[in-house]
Amino acid sequence: MARPHPDHTARADLPEGGESPLAAALASRDRKTLDMVAEAIRHNSCRLAFQPVMQARPPHGTAFHEALIRVLDATGRVIPARDFMPVVENTELGRVLDCNALEMGLRTLARNPALRLSVNMSARSIGYRRWMGILDRCLGRDATLGERLILEISEPSAMTLPDLVIDFMDRFQSRGIAFALDDFGAGSTAVRQFREFFFDAVKIDGQFVRGIHADPDNQALVRALAGLARQFDMLTIAENVETAQDAEFLVSIGIDCLQGYLFGAPSLSPPWKAKTRARTSA
């Protein structure tokens, strides 16, 4: 008797369209995510959450705040970027979210002259006409906004279009904008490419920072990443700092700034407004 083809048993369990149950479930989840983000954009339900980035050395003040995009779902729940950005990043919705984040961030800077703010962007938004239009228009109205704006580009995103990113940075650094390489260490940037980018700062990926005080491997890796950044005169920022022990180790190896829940969670209520209210009521 002829033996069945090795694929026959597996194929018998597949739906008629040839898609596995797991793939179908993932596709359904992604469609729901896309629908949720589209609805949030349609109903103007995008917000910024602000998280402080602290100076590692005295006077230990706030160096700047990172503005993180959030969307509200149909029930009003605040959905963080990690729950939707991987699905929408390479779509038109991702470009619209970048536009919303940039516009809200620049508006926040305009209303708060003492504030310094970082805003996340994808390298793909550089060629998006509306995003570039927002940046040019706002800098045209007030050139000083650029001096207080930091644009964060993740390492994997920067490496998708390195030449475009390098050209964009060259044009806008001359207008005062600073650039930070986000998730440093998580991508595959070669040393040669890293040198060509001329980022002003690097944000060391949080997976290497959590629990670092007790992890010799991550200690060695973060020392190497920080040393590489310092060689090219780049500010070093450690993400996801959650314990005092981790913060103490990072300070001891010369990290410039610290960001994480140890210093404050992202908040839809601007922290600088709370400080102003506290001084007023004192």
> pLDDT digits over 18-40, tens only?
678 888 888 898 999 999 999 99
Confidence grade of residue 193 (pLDDT, cut at 50, 70, 90): confident
Global pTM reads 0.88
Measuring CA to CA, how many Å separate 43 from each of 31, 46, 267?
Answer: 18, 8, 21
- Residue 78 in contact with residue 47, Cβ under 8 Å? yes
pLDDT in tens, 256-275: 999 999 999 999 999 888 66
Q: Is the CB of residue 99 less than 8 Å from the CB of residue 88?
A: no
Q: What are phi and psi of 151, to 5 degrees?
A: -105, 125
- Give all domains of the chain, ordered by start, each with its CATH number: 35-277 (3.20.20.450)
Distance (Å, whole) CA 79 – CA 164: 31
| Residue 106: both structure tokens together | 């620049």
